[in-house]
Amino acid sequence: MEKLIKRRELTYVALIIFFGAFFLIMGEPVEAKVFKWRFQTHWPAASASYAPFKKFMEGEVKALTDGQLVIEVHPAGTFVPTKDLFDAWANNTLQGGTGSTYWISHVPLTAVAGQCPLGFRELWEAEYFHFHIGFEEALRKEHLGKGIVYWTEKIFPTAMVSKKPVKTLADLKGLKVRSSGKIADMLKMVGVSSVLVPGEEIYTALSTGVIDAAHWGAAAGALTMKLCEPAKYYIQPNLAYSATDLVMISKKAWDELPADLQKIVYLAFKERCWRRSNEYIQEEVRALETMKKKFGVQVSWLDKEAQKALQLAAIKIWDETATLSPTNAEWIGKMKEFLKELGYID
């Protein structure tokens, strides 16, 4: 019995020596590496989209990664002009940020995302096209070839407000509308007089009669800009559902992240697109109700003839977009197939 006790004591001593030596060799537990990124957005700090994006990146992403990824978000113009953002991300001068379809010359496929008016009529349709038919992954692939990792930030509607009701083609002809991009081209095809007015001058232009109507986002944009004071008519249907707000990350910075952090960030950004798009639609609903109740705004629907004319004009623009690259042609084709299934085009 005494020998057994001594043997156990020797065993305990040996274990203590072993583990003591192990911890001396290993030292203190190694702390996980912290990655610090700088983001610059294309939005000014006063933009309605800036604060929610900053809160998500600096708060939620940090929490989801247990503090291993720390992102500082800055407004437009902080480090480089907006026009230079794409190159700053590709070169890893900035690790990421937001942009719009400013760089079609770099990635022509973004024209399909942001310059195809009167395509989708409901949010779910655009989301289905992106996430189930595969358009989102196609956009990611095209951007990866340019040294950038891509996500859609949100999908949102565009609608017009007017000082007078607009229902027919005759109402559209000669209407002076503040517009831009491919929506402006579509409107011109049906006789609208398109005028490019800077955002900060739209209210005055409406009030003084320089323009009759304008689009700045949809209801939420019109309410924020107080366009519903001079313009009492909200024109439907929506002119577009666009994916023109984009999240970009330098591939060089992305490749430095461990695989587990990459997976967390990828899923977080993907989920946020769904969440933010639906939040935005709820904001639109509330904004339109506010415009109706507080400002006396009325909804004015275009008749079937006017909608048909705009749709034909939009298809011409889609076809122009398809000529920018073989990939564009492929995805314009897939979009048309989906819209045919929905019964929107023949």
- CB atoms inside a 10 Å sphere around CB 97: 32
Q: Which long-range contacts (CB under 8 A, 24 or more apart) does 83-87 make?
A: 85/40, 85/42, 85/248, 86/146, 86/148, 86/248
Q: What is the pLDDT, as a whole number, of residue 30?
A: 54
CA–CA separation, 177 vs 25, rounded Å? 74
User: Could you tell me the mean pLDDT of each successive run of 10 residues in the chain, 346 residues long?
Assistant: 43 41 45 93 85 96 97 95 94 95 89 91 95 96 96 95 96 93 92 87 94 93 93 96 92 97 96 93 95 97 96 96 96 97 93
Q: Which of 324, 268, 309, 339 is nearest to 53 (CA)?
A: 268
- CATH code matching the domain that covers 35-164+187-342, chosen among 3.30.70.580, 3.50.50.60, 3.20.20.70, 3.40.190.170: 3.40.190.170
Q: What is the pLDDT, as a whole number, of residue 319?
A: 96
Q: What is the pLDDT, as a whole number, of residue 24?
A: 39
